[in-house]
Chain A
Amino acid sequence: RKEVEQDPGPFNVPEGATVAFNCTYSNSASQSFFWYRQDCRKEPKLLMSVYSSGNEDGRFTAQLNRASQYISLLIRDSKLSDSATYLCVVTFKSGGYQKVTFGTGTKLQVIP
């Protein structure tokens, strides 16, 4: 099983739609979770951290389910500018250090 797994998509959704992505992780000792956004041929940019209690930032909601070992990202009222690849990032302790692992990303295309 991959350390961090995402559905690559693409998810093609109309403007205004709600879309949700999941990301599963294999290491039950994983400690921190993030969603990053990556535009084509650009650097990853932090979208939001994911907290155990779940968190919301405007149209974006992130949730963590430790029992089932997945995190989710919900985007409400999709905009054309939301079109990007969404990267799930998980950290866990390995040999005294924190290891950072990226998922392969889920591509979102918002269409007019």
Chain B
Amino acid sequence: EPEVTQTPSHQVTQMGQEVILRCVPISNHLYFYWYRQILGQKVEFLVSFYNNEISEKSEIFDDQFSVERPDGSNFTLKIRSTKLEDSAMYFCASSEGGVPTVQYFGPGTRLTVT
């Protein structure tokens, strides 16, 4: 069964450093998303991406964040200068169609900022 994959599973970084989180969406999906979940809190939408551009972003997704689809398979989330409060689980998701089509989530990357 096709699945969304994410690397790395765990990333530890120092405050102020840049990190890139990687995702490989399901191959025939056209819509891609990033979510984050701070430990013990709810899943929060960050950004959606379609046709090589951002279709929507939340207030969390400020200038420190960017997304890219550098090739035909990868979808990345970059955080330019990490802060302690960026520590969270970051989930990538993909769907065949746009919302409200069902989204399939990757296993997540746990980001720890020290």
Contacts and interface: CB of A to CB of B under 8 A. Distances in A.
Given A32-B100, A102-B43, A97 B55 contact: yes
Interface string B17-44: 0000000000000000101000001111
A42 B4 CA distance: 13
B2 to A, nearest CB: 14
Nearest to A38: B43
Nearest to B56: A97
Sort chain A's interface into a size bin: 20 to 34
B3 to A, nearest CB: 10
A43 to B, nearest CB: 4
* Interface class of chain B by DSSP: strand
Contacts of A34: 102
A46 interface: yes
Contacts of B75: none
A49 interface: yes
Contacts of A32: 99-100
Contacts of B45: 99-102
Interface of B: 33, 35, 41-45, 48, 55-56, 89, 91, 98-100, 102-108, 110
5 contacts: A31-B100, A32-B100, A43-B107, A99-B45, A102-B44
Interface of A: 31-32, 34, 38, 41-46, 49, 87, 91, 94-95, 97-105
Given A41-B89, A102-B43, 7 more contacts: A32-B99, A43-B107, A49-B102, A91-B100, A97-B48, A99-B56, A104-B42
